[in-house]
Amino acid sequence: MYHILCIVGIVRCSDSSRGNWCQQLAAVYFVYAVLLYNNILRTRVVRRDTTKLNQGTLANYQSLSLIKHRSSLIEGTHHHGQRPAINSQTTSSNSHQISCVMMKFALVSLATVASAANAEYFNEVKVMSGHKKRKHVVSPLPHTYLLQEDIPENWNWDNVDGKSYLTKHLNQHIPHYCGSCWAHGAISALADRIKIARQGQGHDINLSIQWVLNCGSETAGSCHGGYHTGVYELIQQYGYIPFDTCQPYLACSAESQEGFCPQIDTQCSKVNTCRTCSGFSDSGGNCVELDYFPNATVAEYGEIEYSFLESWESVAQKIRSEIYARGPVACTINADPLRDYEGGILDDDEASTSTNHIVSIVGFGKDDETGKDYWIIRNSWGEYWGEMGFARVAAGKNMLGMEANVAWATPGTYTVENVPCSEDGTVCGGEAQTHSGKTVRTFVGEEYVDPSVKFLAKKVAETNAKLAARTQS
């Protein structure tokens, strides 16, 4: 039984994609299995009917194999507070000594593994129980209608002919720590796509990440982790996401105990969807919800799909098609090598592909000197980090696990003219002069047109032109 548990542990943790801590744990399992096997060889002379371990020892071995009572084991005691011992009537003294050595070795190793695990970046990738609908796809996907020659070798939405189509940077960790990378990556990619659809015209439309934290605990996530497609499902469920002037980023969710979070209300409510405050409280002012507020919607969303038979370069080409045709995407990534990143193309084949963070990919390219393909990622750690908040990571090889779970979303509609409200938020409506008289102002929105319409129309025109040329010849 014991060696079976050890083998299971080795197999489950030997895969590099499960993280460095798990690989260290696999080593512990392996050495423990060797010691256990050696112990079994030494005790084979004992009669079969007298070699059963007592219940306390069995519980202890199960604890070691399954890592169920780590804290009590590190203290060297069983979870009942009593150190179990080998039954002297059923085993030899040598067996007892070897078992003690095995115990001590395993305890020290477990402490080392626990320390290594704690040193890694907090895992902010978490699929919530309420996230049921992982995709909603209607339009044709870019990789189905774009050829490889249609896609340039270098493309960066932060610099298209000298113009940036990206919305503002944020630092998820201020005013205090919050594991909301999943919301930053998903929302920045969506807002960037709105800016792209508007051809960079007008003021930026920045969407409220704080509203996602307020209302997305069941579907999207919290300061303790979440998932990119959960954000898009949340927006579809509510039918909107407010602009960030409704709910600026506070780095708080309902369960967070960081900074001032315990003292403020971040429950999902009307006032925590869009609010304004009329004045200082000691002068009679108060904060009220707004019934009308600028917002955006999500039309479609999903993840880049692929088969296990596909090469990572094939998957990368699908991702490039999506980015080039429709804009930035969000992806999971291993953040451990990124923490001390100082620039250049990050290319480390020894790095784990087990992911714990989410960023957006805003472009791609090929290095002139090395010929390496790379992604341009936008992080949510502020512009003091990396290359002004960006990083370049090797592409086409699932570096840091970033090509395995890539999400995209297309906007539905977004407000370009608001319903005017008074400064204190108590009166909304307003009137507008039209050719037939005055009418109450309502929202004026723009509707997103999927780029596939343009690309497919271009393909049809090219095909028709070729057919016409053949007919004439």
Q: What is the pLDDT of residue 452?
A: 81
- Token readout for 72 is 């009590």
Comparison of pLDDT for 234 and 39, the residue scoring more: 234
Q: What is the pLDDT of residue 438?
A: 64
Q: How far is CA 169 from CA 135, 163, 166, 206, 378, in A?
A: 27, 16, 9, 10, 9
**Pair (96, 169) in one structural domain:** no
* 463 domain-assigned: no
Residue 174 has pLDDT above 70, yes or no: yes
Q: With cut-offs at 50, 70 and 90, classify the pLDDT of residue 436.
A: low
* 127 domain-assigned: no
* 395 domain-assigned: yes
Q: Which of 277-286's residues contact partners 24+ apart within 8 Å by CB, and which partners? A: 278/423, 278/424, 278/425, 278/426, 279/424
Give mean pLDDT, residues 281-285: 91
Among this protein's residues, is 118 annotated catalytic? Answer: no
Instruction: Look up residue 466 and give its amino acid.
Output: K
* 464 domain-assigned: no
Structural domain boundaries enclosing 317 = 142-410
**Pair (230, 345) in one structural domain:** yes
CATH label of the domain that carries residue 222? 3.90.70.10
**Pair (45, 112) in one structural domain:** yes
Sort residue 199 into left (φ over 0), alpha (ψ -120 to 50) or beta: left
CB 207 within 8 A of CB 293: no
Task: Please list, in sequence order, all residues whose beta carbon lies within 8 angstroms of the beta carbon of residue 234, skipping any fewer than 6 positions away.
Answer: 212, 215, 216, 219, 220
**Pair (50, 100) in one structural domain:** yes
**Pair (69, 202) in one structural domain:** no
Residue 210 has pLDDT above 70, yes or no: yes
Q: Which of 145-151's residues contact partners 24+ apart within 8 Å by CB, and which partners? A: 145/452, 145/455, 145/456, 145/459, 146/321, 146/324, 146/325, 146/455, 148/317, 150/324, 150/455, 151/317, 151/320, 151/321, 151/324
Separation between Cα atoms, residue 328 and residue 449, nearest integer Å: 16
Q: What is the DSSP string of 254-294?
A: TT--STTGGGS--SSSSTTTSEEE-S-GGGT--EEE-SS--
Comparison of pLDDT for 31 and 362, the residue scoring more: 362
**Pair (94, 176) in one structural domain:** no
**Pair (355, 320) in one structural domain:** yes
Active-site annotation holder among 13, 181, 223, 331 = 181
**Pair (203, 310) in one structural domain:** yes
Q: What is the pLDDT of residue 110?
A: 43
Comparison of pLDDT for 339 and 110, the residue scoring more: 339
Query: Pick from 13, 103, 10: which is nearest to 61 by CA?
Result: 103
Q: What is the pLDDT of residue 450?
A: 85
**Checking DSSP bridges between strand 444-447 and strand 437-440, what pairing results, if any?**
unpaired
**Pair (348, 277) in one structural domain:** yes
**Pair (89, 229) in one structural domain:** no
Tallying the residues shown for the chain, one arrives at 473
Q: Of 62-76, 279-293, 347-361, give the lowest mean pLDDT range.
A: 62-76
CB 48 within 8 A of CB 85: no
* 345 domain-assigned: yes
* 124 domain-assigned: no
CB 213 within 8 A of CB 223: yes
* 257 domain-assigned: yes
383-429: pLDDT as tens digits: 999 999 999 999 999 999 999 999 999 999 999 988 888 888 888 88
Give mean pLDDT, residues 114-142: 81
Q: Of 28-37, 180-189, 224-233, give the lowest mean pLDDT range.
A: 28-37
* 466 domain-assigned: no
User: SS3 for 387?
Assistant: strand
- The residue from 119, 151, 169 where one domain ends is 119
Give mean pLDDT, residues 14-33: 47
194-209: pLDDT as tens digits: 999 999 999 999 999 9
Residue 375 has pLDDT above 60, yes or no: yes
Q: What is the pLDDT of residue 112?
A: 40
Q: What is the pLDDT of residue 466?
A: 85
Give mean pLDDT, residues 100-107: 46
Active-site annotation holder among 184, 357, 405, 421 = 357
Q: Of 86-95, 216-225, 321-330, 356-365, give the lowest mean pLDDT range.
A: 86-95
- Residue 331 DSSP class: E
Q: What is the pLDDT of residue 34?
A: 45
Helix-, strand-, coil-residue percentages of the chain, each rounded to 5: 35, 20, 45
Sort residue 65 into left (φ over 0), alpha (ψ -120 to 50) or beta: alpha
Kindly report the average pLDDT of the chain as a whole number: 80
Comparison of pLDDT for 63 and 147, the residue scoring more: 147
How many domains, in total, are found in the chain? 2
Give mean pLDDT, residues 437-463: 78
Q: Of 195-209, 255-269, 444-458, give the lowest mean pLDDT range.
A: 444-458
Among this protein's residues, is 181 annotated catalytic? Answer: yes
Q: What is the pLDDT of residue 439?
A: 64
55-64: pLDDT as tens digits: 433 333 333 3
Percent of the chain with pLDDT over 90: 59
Q: What is the DSSP string of 150-206?
A: GS-S-EETT-BTTB-------BTTSSS--B-HHHHHHHHHHHHHHHHHTTT-SS---
Q: Of 36-40, 88-92, 450-454, give the lowest mean pLDDT range.
A: 88-92
Give the global pTM. Answer: 0.74
